[in-house]
Structure 1
Amino acid sequence: MNQPIDTIAETLKLVSDKTRLTILALLKEREMCVCDIVTILETTQPNVSQHLRKLKVGDLVNETRRAQWIYYSLNTDDKPYLHGILEVLPSMKHELQKLSPDCCS
């Protein structure tokens, strides 16, 4: 499905931010809750939530509620122009090893 140029341009603006690009790299590895992302990025919860809100409005992430936690996952299947970008992002597996297993439990 072809996307309008305006939509592609807005999406590329979203991913041009280092923090949002890092969040996408993390979500490429697995779905995550805000507390996990805060821990890895070493920033504040409001900062991460603001970036996730922008990614959600841009339709780049999905939200799934589980009890009191909201988990985020990639929503890029219908955006083939992002697949090349996501493919070349560095692996975040090492950063994921820093997480406490009981963060969102």
Structure 2
Amino acid sequence: MQRLLDFFKILSDETRLRIILLLWNKSLCVCELCNILDLSQPKVSRHLAKLRDSGIVKDSRQGQWIFYNLDLEDEVRKNAIEDIIKNIGKYPILYGDSEKFRKRTVDYKVLCKKIESKGESFMNIKILGAGCDKCSKLEENVKEALKELKIEASVEKVEDLKSIMAYGVMTTPALVVDEKVKAVGRILSKDEIKKYL
């Protein structure tokens, strides 16, 4: 029963539903999904990680690219998606996605280079602190969270006191994502960090 409830919770999120329906057609890389959905790479990657953790999506590496595809062995899940696909014309956003997928002409390698050139695939993360054990643990958790979400980001340690105070931070360690202070004075768990990525 819980498995069924979890599946419908997944479907209740618009972005995840859109991703699932696109992957129904074929395996896609993050860049292709970003292009069709018109969303940033970190956001799409975060939703893909949720789908992967729930067992709905699998990933596989082809050279330097990671592709995602549906894993719908459960007949109830499969039938639910099929019913939505059959009636996709009733839902403008979903239908629009399917049309963009059908009419796409740009190779995924070109899309990936385009996204990278715009800097969309890289977020900037800073760990503020004087190099204490807590700071090192926060850095470790950040890197593990990024790895699990398959998000590329620069991770920088800021130990200079003046630079730390410039963020208005008085207690360390602190986490800064794209120049916004997200947490101060404690070690965030991987799951907590993922919410900010």
Question: What's 1:104 paired with?
Answer: 109
How many residues align structurally?
A: 99
In structure 1, list runs of 5 or more residues that go unmatched: none
Identity of paired residues, percent?
30
Name the residue aligned to 2:48. Answer: 52
Pairwise CA distance, 1:67 = 1.1
> Which string of whole-angstrom CA distances, capped at 9 and with x for unpartnered residues, describes residues 24-56 of structure 1?
100001110000000000010000000000000
CA distance 1:58–1:36, change in 2 (3 Å):
same
> Superposition pairs for residues 1-105 of structure 1, below 5 Å?
5-77=1-73, 79-87=74-82, 88-89=84-85, 90=88, 92-96=97-101, 97-101=103-107, 103-104=108-109
Report deviation, 1:18: 0.8
Deviation of residue 86 (structure 1)? 1.1
Q: Which of the pair has the greater relative contact order for Cα pairs under 8 Å at 6+ separation?
A: 1
RMSD: 1.6
Shift in Å, 1:68: 1.1
Please tell me the residue identity of whatever aligns with 1:81.
Answer: V
Larger radius of gyration: 2
Between the aligned partners of 1:94 and 1:67, the Cα distance in structure 2 is: 28
TM-score (norm 2): 0.47
Distance in structure 1 (CA, Å) of the matches to 2:105 and 2:13:
24
Greater share of strand residues, 1 or 2? 2
